[in-house]
Amino acid sequence: MRSFNGNLESVFNSDRIEYFFLIKLSFSQDFYFTSYHSDIAWDGQTWVADGGLLEVDSPRFSSVVDREAYKIVLTDLVDQLAGEFKAGVIGSDIQVWAGFTDPSTGQPMLASGDVVSIYSGYVDSPAIENDWETKTAVIEGSSPMADLDRVNLIMVSKDGMDQLNLSDTSYDRIYDDAEISLKWGKV
């Protein structure tokens, strides 16, 4: 079970829970977005409020092992993210945090422990969607369980190993009828 500091427990026990997201995309350059209504300075960076953040999946908890993906949707009117997608972002880091506002002041709580990590993963399938009114960048992050479906094949032959490592000679004589002598036990 996850534990929270006293500040967050007081927020969770109040009648007024307001939250915002902080999203870091690590592409060829780092992008910092927030769903808060103004820019936020946190962790030595400025998180941009007018960066076009449209949708962020809420964190989901599951009692079974599944491949549920995480989705972020941003506007991309100046083709900045489209250019990144063309350059290749699959496997790039995505980090999402949830921040909360103080119920009494309405200001963001940004002290250590007040901002909670809710997703850390990798870009699985980026896409640009254009419906002629709005152009959006849809980033789907891989599930922590995504590797469960991955199939890795290795050809057990000299040529198969050469594709992985030319200096590895462990499979050089795999099909040969080579006789070797091993000393077994005490020598």
Q: What is the pLDDT of residues 128-147, one digit of tens each?
A: 998 888 889 999 987 655 55
Q: Once rounded to an integer, what is the mean pLDDT over residues 57-76?
A: 73
92, 27 Cβ separation under 8 angstroms: yes
Q: Once rounded to an integer, what is the mean pLDDT over residues 98-104?
A: 90
63 falls within a domain: yes
What pLDDT digit, counting tens, does each position of 146-181 carry?
556 566 666 677 777 777 788 888 777 776 666 667
When divided into structural domains, the chain yields a total of 1
Residue 96 has a pLDDT of 92
- Whose tokens are 């092992």? That residue is 65
138 falls within a domain: yes
C-alpha–C-alpha distance, residues 12 and 1, integer Å: 16
123 falls within a domain: yes
| Number of CB atoms found within 10 A of residue 58's CB | 10
175 falls within a domain: no
Identify the domain containing residue 94 by its residue range. Answer: 6-149
Could you tell me the maximum CA-CA distance found in the chain, to the nearest angstrom?
81
112 falls within a domain: yes
41, 34 Cβ separation under 8 angstroms: no
C-alpha–C-alpha distance, residues 3 and 5, integer Å: 7
Q: Positive or negative, the Cα torsion across 131, 95, 37, 68?
A: positive
157 falls within a domain: no
| Contact partners, residue 74, CB within 8 Å, separation at least 6 | 33, 51, 52, 53, 54, 81, 136, 137, 139
69, 142 Cβ separation under 8 angstroms: yes
67 falls within a domain: yes
Work out the mean pLDDT of the chain and round it to a whole number.
82
This prediction has a pTM of: 0.71
113 falls within a domain: yes
Residue 172 has a pLDDT of 76
74, 137 Cβ separation under 8 angstroms: yes
